[in-house]
């Protein structure tokens, strides 16, 4: 496979846009990305749209075609993909794969979702159904439940504290306040996080990501032609996708998907966790980020609590994580989340991250977990980017 580069990125502020159509949200991010790439729509040969289940909350199929038609991007192959909460990453990886294998020289990947026009119960049902084999959701489980269960086991096994878990939210909201595209831009103190409304003990409201509306887009090209479009292309050093094993073996304090995907990604890039200058990881809940530190090798198993407490996952620390503010600040815009993580990392690698810039960042890791079945994420994507 040949080397692929990211030549354009486009974001927008995530938020509540009930008065805008999903098409309008997609258009904004795609126009930004194509402009950033210095391209015209005719330069793009293929496109993937990431969208979870918009028809469930009110709008139709063919999201990719409807959005891109408005920009004059027609005739080329356009497909929609879905992979739970990692839907955007799946769109990115499919576009990468097509360029890497030579099926095309340029491609666009974007993700879009409008989550605030629906309710939590509807979303839970879309994920777990009432027909699901294990029916965990039907018996009282939920996304906060799954992560609260992981938090309690981590606390019991490794002595991780409520305070350490809550510090993830404090850190991410601090960076969200520096990101003009974040939904929540007010920082929170540790006391505020600990004393906030309890959602699923030990997780309080600021430790659970909000929903949101928005879109994000990236443009890829074969590395050999990247400088035709952009003077500072970012190279994709690894792209890995795995699915869950759903094993009941072992302690419920790690994601088997993370560990397998990370191993494969480091091997593909010829790098190790120590080479990663910064990362965007799937912090749908505070404790998830803490567990990802361990699974991705940023610290040893069981030391995630200390890692965040010592500031090792903050800017200036060993491996800054979620300088965008993460899902905890941006909100989880399911189809767009994975692409939005990549947009942040490309900006960091270009030195365009403003007040949240990680100085001298050369290598970045993106991690996005998708969906949950029983004790494991259904899918996991990891991308390693280099400049």
For residue 8, state whether it binds other proteins (rule: CB under 8 A): no
- What is the closest distance, in whole angstroms, from the C-beta atom of residue 198 to other proteins in the complex? 6
Give the number of residues in contact with other proteins, rule: CB under 8 A: 35
* Catalytic residue check, 30: no
Alpha-carbon torsion angle 260, 139, 151, 15, nearest 10: 80
- What is the closest distance, in whole angstroms, from the C-beta atom of residue 139 to other proteins in the complex? 6
* Catalytic residue check, 367: no
- What is the closest distance, in whole angstroms, from the C-beta atom of residue 204 to other proteins in the complex? 10
Q: Can you tell me the distance from the alpha carbon of 305 to that of 291, in angstroms, rounded to the nearest whole number?
A: 9
For residue 135, state whether it binds other proteins (rule: CB under 8 A): yes
Tokens 């989880």 appear where?
Answer: 332
Other CB atoms within 10 A of residue 269 CB: 23
In the chain the first and final C-alpha atoms are separated, in Å, by: 19
- What is the closest distance, in whole angstroms, from the C-beta atom of residue 234 to other proteins in the complex? 40
Q: Can you tell me the distance from the alpha carbon of 379 to that of 371, in angstroms, rounded to the nearest whole number?
A: 7
| Tokens linked to 254 | 């790690």
The one catalytic residue among 154, 282, 292, 332: 332
Cβ burial, residue 180 (10 Å; 0-12/13-18/19+): exposed
For residue 387, state whether it binds other proteins (rule: CB under 8 A): no
Residues in contact with other proteins, shown as a per-residue x/- string from 192 to 231 under the rule CB under 8 A: -----xxxxxx-----------------------------
- The enclosing H or E element of 112 equals strand 106-114
**Which residues, in sequence order, are bridge partners of residue 367?**
382
Residues in contact with other proteins, shown as a per-residue x/- string from 16 to 55 under the rule CB under 8 A: ----------------------------------------
Cis before 202? omega within 30: yes
| Tokens linked to 296 | 């991705």
The residue from 3, 70, 136, 310 that contacts other proteins (CB under 8 A) is: 136
Q: Stretches 108-116, 136-144, 273-281, 334-342: which one binds other proteins (CB under 8 A)?
A: 136-144
Tokens 């090792």 appear where?
Answer: 312
Q: Can you tell me the distance from the alpha carbon of 191 to that of 27, in angstroms, rounded to the nearest whole number?
A: 40
Tokens 């503010």 appear where?
Answer: 325
Residues in contact with other proteins, shown as a per-residue x/- string from 154 to 193 under the rule CB under 8 A: --xx------------------------------------
- Report the 3 state secondary structure along 275-305: HCCEEECCCCEHHHHHHHHHHCCCCCCCCHH
Question: Do residues 99 and 106 make contact, with C-beta atoms less than 8 angstroms apart?
Answer: yes
Q: Stretches 79-87, 150-158, 235-243, 265-273: which one binds other proteins (CB under 8 A)?
A: 150-158
- What is the closest distance, in whole angstroms, from the C-beta atom of residue 376 to other proteins in the complex? 11
**Which residues, in sequence order, are bridge partners of residue 278?**
364
The residue from 21, 101, 120, 189 that contacts other proteins (CB under 8 A) is: 120
Nearer to other proteins, 96 or 147 (CB): 147
Other CB atoms within 10 A of residue 145 CB: 16
The residue from 109, 150, 166, 276 that contacts other proteins (CB under 8 A) is: 150
Q: Can you tell me the distance from the alpha carbon of 324 to that of 212, in angstroms, rounded to the nearest whole number?
A: 15
- What is the closest distance, in whole angstroms, from the C-beta atom of residue 298 to other proteins in the complex? 23
Residues in contact with other proteins, shown as a per-residue x/- string from 238 to 277 under the rule CB under 8 A: ----------xx-xx-------------------------
- What is the closest distance, in whole angstroms, from the C-beta atom of residue 253 to other proteins in the complex? 9
- Tell me which residues touch other proteins (CB under 8 A): 120-121, 124, 133-142, 144-145, 148-153, 156-157, 197-202, 248-249, 251-252, 374-375
* Residues taking part in catalysis: 85, 332
């Amino acid at each position: 496979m040949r080397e692929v580069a990211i030549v354009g990125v486009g974001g927008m502020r995530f938020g509540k846009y009930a008065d805008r159509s999903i098409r309008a949200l997609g258009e904004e991010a795609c126009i930004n990305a194509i402009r950033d790439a210095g391209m015209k729509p005719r330069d793009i040969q293929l496109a993937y749209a990431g969208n979870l289940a918009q028809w469930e909350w009110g709008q139709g199929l063919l999201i990719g075609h409807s959005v891109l038609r408005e920009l004059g991007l027609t005739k080329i192959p356009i497909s929609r993909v879905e992979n739970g909460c990692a839907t955007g990453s799946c769109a990115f990886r499919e576009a990468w794969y097509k360029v890497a294998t030579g099926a095309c020289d340029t491609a666009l990947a974007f993700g879009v979702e409008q989550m605030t026009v629906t309710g939590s119960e509807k979303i839970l049902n879309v994920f777990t159904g009432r027909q699901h084999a294990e029916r965990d959701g039907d018996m009282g489980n939920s996304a906060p439940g799954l992560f609260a269960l992981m938090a309690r086991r981590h606390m019991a096994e490794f002595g991780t504290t409520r305070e350490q878990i809550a510090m993830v939210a404090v850190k991410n909201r601090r960076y969200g306040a520096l990101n003009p595209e974040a939904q929540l831009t007010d920082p929170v103190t540790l006391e505020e996080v600990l004393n906030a409304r309890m959602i699923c003990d030990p997780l309080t409201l600021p430790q659970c990501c909000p929903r949101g509306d928005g879109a994000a887009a990236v443009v890829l090209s074969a590395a050999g032609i990247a400088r035709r479009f952009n003077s500072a292309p970012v190279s994709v050093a690894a792209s890995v996708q795995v699915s869950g094993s759903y094993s009941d073996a072992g302690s419920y304090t790690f994601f088997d998907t993370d560990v397998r995907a990370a191993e494969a990604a480091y091997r593909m890039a010829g790098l190790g966790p120590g080479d990663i200058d910064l990362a965007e990881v799937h912090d749908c809940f505070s404790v998830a980020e803490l567990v990802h530190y361990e699974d991705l090798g940023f610290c040893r198993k069981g030391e995630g609590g200390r890692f965040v407490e010592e500031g090792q996952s903050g800017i200036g620390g060993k491996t800054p994580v979620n300088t965008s503010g993460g899902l905890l600040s941006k909100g989880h815009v399911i189809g767009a989340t994975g692409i939005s993580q990549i947009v942040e990392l490309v900006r960091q690698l270009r030195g365009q991250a403003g007040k949240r810039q990680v100085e001298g960042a050369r290598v970045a890791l993106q991690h996005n977990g998708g969906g949950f079945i029983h004790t494991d994420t259904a899918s996991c994507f990891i991308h390693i980017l280099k400049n």
